[in-house]
Structure 1
Amino acid sequence: MTRTHLHRGVDRLLAEARAGSNRLTPAEARAAQERGALLVDTRTETQRAEQGELPGAIVIDRTVLEWRLDPASGVNIPEAVGYDVEIVVVCRQGYSSGLAAASLRAVGLWRATDMVGGVEAWIADGLPVHQGPADVRR
C-alpha cells in the first residue's frame, strides 16, 4: 500500500465526521438553546470580536473542548452533567464545529451536533449577536 492510499484528505474526514449527525440550522440551534441545549462557541477571540458574541453561548477553546464537556473528566464545566446533554457546537463557518461535534460523540456525548454555516449563517439569518462580555470557560 502506498502513502497515497492512506491520504484521506480533510474533505473526507469532515464528511465522515458529519455522517449520521443531525446538523442544525441557525434557527434550529437557537430553538435548541431555548429548550436547554448548550450552545458552545469555539471561535477564536479575534473571530468573536469581528462577528460578535452569541447570546447565551458558552465559549470553550477547541483545545480543551472534550475535557470541559465530558462529565467524567474532573475538569468539566458545571453544565456538563451527563452524557445525554444536548450540545450544539458553533464555529465561524460550520466546518471545524463538525469535527468538534464528532469528537464529543466519540467521548460519549451522543447528542452533540453542530450548526450548518456557523456564525456567518446565524448572522445572515438575522439572529442576534452582541459585543460582549462572553461567557468564556477556560
Structure 2
Amino acid sequence: MSATRDAAADRHLREAEDRPLGIDELLERVRADYQRIGAREAYDAARAGEALLVDIRYAALRERDGLIPGALVVERNELEWRLDPRGSHRLPEATGHDLRIVVVCDEGYASSLAAASLHRLGLHRATDLVGGFQAWRAAGLPVTP
C-alpha cells in the first residue's frame, strides 16, 4: 500500500513539474532559492565594497527617476553576457563566481528573474533588491538625477 502511495505521489510531482507555471508561481519558486535583500542592507553592502549593485531598469525609468550612485547600469537583455565571469563580453566588474551581485529593477519583480538567471550561470551569491529602485528611493537612500 505504501509503495502504491509513493508511486502516485511521484507521478503527481512529475506532472506538477511538467505543467506551465504562472508568473506568480515562478517568482515564488525562484525567490525560494536565495535570500533577497532590503534597500538599507544593499546600501550598506555596496558602501562596504561587499556587493555590486546592478541596475537593470530601462533607460526611460533611469531618466525619469534617477540613478543609484555607484550602481553598474546593465540593460536586462545584456545582463548574462556582461556578468558571466567566463564570458567573452564580460565587464571588468565580473570578477568571479563568488561576486555578490544585487540586481535592481523598478519594483523588484524582473530583478528576481534576473537573479535566478545569474544563479544558473554559477553566480551563487546573486540576489535582488526587495521592492527595487522604488524601495531604495522610499528609504531615502541616495539617488542622482
With structure 2 as the length reference, what TM-score do the two structures score?
0.85
* Pair 1:18-2:31 in alignment: yes
Question: What SS does structure 2 have at the residue aligned with 1:77?
Answer: coil
Deviations 1:95-121 (A, max 9, x none): 000000010011100000000000111
What's 2:134 paired with? 120
Aligned-pair distance for 1:58? 0.4
Q: Within 2, Cα distance between the matches of 1:60 and 1:20?
A: 23
Name stretches of at least 5 consecutive residues in structure 2 with no aligned partner: 1-17
- Which secondary structure does the structure 1 equivalent of 2:111 belong to? helix
Structure (1/2) with the larger helix percentage: 2
- CA shift, 1:75, in A, is 0.7
Shift of 1:62: 0.5
- Output the aligned Cα RMSD: 1.3
Partner of 2:59: 45
Question: Residue 95 of structure 2 corresponds to which residue in structure 1?
Answer: 81
Query: Runs of 4+ in structure 1 displaced over 6 angstroms?
Result: none
2:105 to 91, 114, 124: 91
1 or 2, which has the higher strand percentage? 1
Aligned length: 128
- Deviation at residue 25 of structure 1 after TM alignment: 0.5
Gaps of 5+ in 1: 132-138
User: CA–CA distance in 2 between the matches of 1:44 and 1:31?
Assistant: 25
Q: State which structure, 1 or 2, has the greater radius of gyration over its C-alpha atoms.
A: 2
Match of 2:120, SS state, is: helix
Q: For 1:6-31, what per-residue CA distance to the aligned partner results, in whole angstroms no more than 9, with x for missing partners?
A: 23100011111111311111001101
Indicate the residue corresponding to 2:41 in structure 1: 28
Q: Which has the higher contact order (CA 8 A, sep 6+)?
A: 1
Q: TM-score, normalised by structure 1?
A: 0.89
